[in-house]
Amino acid sequence: MRTRLFSILIAFAAALGAQAEGSAGYKEKLYILSSADDDMTVVDVATNKIVGAVTVGALPHGIAAPGSHKLLYVATEGEEHGVTVVDPFNDKAIEKYSVFGKRPNEIDITSDGRYLYLPARGECHYEVFDTVKELPITRIPVDGYPHNVVVSPDDRFMYLSAYDRGSLSAENARKAGECPTLNKKIYVVDVKTHEVAATIDTLEAPRPIAVSPDGKRLYANTDNLMGFVTLDLENRKLLYRSEYVLTDDESATPSRSHGIGATPDNKEVWSTNINHGFVHVFDVTADPPKQIAKLETGRTPLWLTMTPDGSTVYIANTADDTISVFDAKTKKERTRIQLPKGKAPKRMLVLRIPNG
Amino acid sequence: MPADRDDTFTEQRPDRRRVCPRIRRMSRTSRGKTRRRLLRFAAAVMGLPPASAQRKKQRKESLSAFVPLLEPAWFSAADFPRPWSAFPFPARCPVLGSAEPPPREIRLQGVVLRLPDSGSEASFKAYCLTCPHEICQVNLTTETKGVELATERLPKNPLFVCPCHFSAFDPLADGGRLAGPTHRGLYRFRLEARGGSVAILEIERAALV
């Protein structure tokens, strides 16, 4: 009797959940690129269960969606050197473009879905793809290795983050098929002209970047910094260099910060620490930003993303093929999603897909 | 004019050099000795270690490709019952240039593994798990699809693969680079396997640069 009552309660709760989701007018799905494979895993955000996989091409490296969330673009670094377009309603690849330079990395797109910016890592430039003309329309040469790009919330600027060869000699970089120049700045590109409007110094080679939801600040992981720098985008200057708070034991072990995100309320920045297996949370309402939490993740947390409402933070633990799911408010790990072995999850994105 | 001073100009006087080259060499040597003695005396007065000892030490350090660990790691050979048995270990290494005791410390993760037997005795190798490319931690794995996709080669044995950018290293080839963006192979440890034990003693200097 008790079991039956329990089952009824569960069914009732599930129905309520479905109704809530339906009444919200959307369904949220998390897309996780398998950086060592040729597909991406699809997770239902409501349940944190894997609901499918989409084959997109070898070594997917970049993921972006326009503001409508009705399409998904995935850059593949493998043999296809292209971009796959995915229909998120049915989770199927619907188009493939193979017109890009070598080794496309992390991409971003304007919210109207018109201009896709794509770092061609093997070519030392970024490419701008017009999705209406279905053609690359211009190239933006940069110093360093084209690697990441993020669009401003008002669509006016693209911020390009190219890292560099570091201590590797220019000759050895060339031999390895990499760009020989050094770079320690963020490029600010005007989306109207697709030309560089300014650069902002980052002290060291920039890595993953995140723009604050109000568009006023840019946060960047950099080489040789366990932490991140804060850039003032209005005055285009470096504001702060924030280091993770670590114990002496932790500091003795080399690591790297690689994976950063700003919460939609403009209050926190979450940033990963790959060899110690942490995500560090900073209060960015304080000047300078102040670390308020250090949370354990899985092995080699290399990327993070958030739900659009900022309630959930997903960390991709590349070395153990898991995703840590954190409650942003309580800073507790809700669950850990185990992916099939060998997927090496990295870039991720949550899509809020309209019903119907 | 003293003979040794005269000899400093022998290069301009080939006739004299031809006549008595041995005397010239001896004189120059004895003059150098006097200078060294003076310098040594001055250094002793100032409380400095002898220059020659410093030079010797520096030369030895710069020539040696390996640096002793602050604390060797020990294993029993019996812990490795079969080929590819592997154990990770934390390696306490000195920060280069921090000579004053106690030297500052950098901790690197290592792994010691038993290779497939080539003779009657088991052979061991120890590698540093820090990827030379971007200091991510490599894994010893048979999950090498990423390597296959990137290189179109099917690995025949377990490899060290970096989860960050898929540099791949061959444990059977001294940790050498197989694929990926790394510019070199894995950093190595020097070990001694003797009398049923395996001692990890030194780390490749380049790992600490």
pLDDT per residue over A22-31, tens digit each? 567 999 999 9
pTM of the predicted protein model: 0.81
pLDDT higher than threshold 60 for residue A53: yes
In this prediction, residues B180-191 reach a mean pLDDT of: 92
**Chain A contact for B139 (CB, 8 A cutoff):** yes
Who contacts B50 (Cβ-Cβ below 8 Å, separation ≥6)?
B40, B43, B44
Would you state the pLDDT for residue A150?
A: 98
* Element spanning A16, H or E: helix A2-24
Q: How confident is the model at residue A169 (pLDDT cuts 50, 70, 90)?
A: confident
pLDDT higher than threshold 60 for residue B26: no
In this prediction, residues A317-327 reach a mean pLDDT of: 96
pLDDT higher than threshold 50 for residue A17: no
Whole-angstrom Cα distance, residue A189 to residue A157?
Answer: 5
In this prediction, residues B57-73 reach a mean pLDDT of: 76
Whole-angstrom Cα distance, residue A282 to residue A300?
Answer: 20
CB A229 within 8 A of CB A289: no
pLDDT higher than threshold 50 for residue B2: no
Least confident stretch, A61-65, A73-77, B11-15 = B11-15
Who contacts B29 (Cβ-Cβ below 8 Å, separation ≥6)?
none
Q: How confident is the model at residue A99 (pLDDT cuts 50, 70, 90)?
A: confident
ipTM given for this complex = 0.76
- Shortest CB distance from B145 goes to which of A253, A256, A342? A342
In this prediction, residues B80-87 reach a mean pLDDT of: 91
Q: How confident is the model at residue B103 (pLDDT cuts 50, 70, 90)?
A: confident
Would you state the pLDDT for residue B17?
A: 41
CB A207 within 8 A of CB A163: yes
On chain B, the residues whose CB falls within 8 A of the CB of A251 are none
Q: How confident is the model at residue B141 (pLDDT cuts 50, 70, 90)?
A: confident
In this prediction, residues A205-223 reach a mean pLDDT of: 97
Residue spans of alpha helices (H) in chain B: 3-7, 14-19, 21-45, 51-63, 145-151
Q: How confident is the model at residue B8 (pLDDT cuts 50, 70, 90)?
A: very low
Report the mean per-residue pLDDT for chain B: 76
- Whether A37 sits inside 8 A of B164 (CB atoms) is no
CB A301 within 8 A of CB A273: yes
Tell me the residue ranges of DSSP E strands in chain B. Answer: 66-76, 86-94, 105-115, 123-128, 139-141, 159-161, 168-170, 176-179, 189-194, 197-204
**Chain A contact for B151 (CB, 8 A cutoff):** no
Residues of A with CB under 8 A from a CB of B: 35-38, 58-59, 78-79, 168, 172, 176, 178, 249, 252-256, 258, 274-275, 299-300, 302, 318-319, 341-342, 344
Give the count of beta carbons closer than 10 Å to the beta carbon of residue A24: 11
In this prediction, residues B42-48 reach a mean pLDDT of: 60
- Whether A300 sits inside 8 A of B109 (CB atoms) is no
Whole-angstrom Cα distance, residue A72 to residue B54?
Answer: 64
Q: How confident is the model at residue A76 (pLDDT cuts 50, 70, 90)?
A: very high
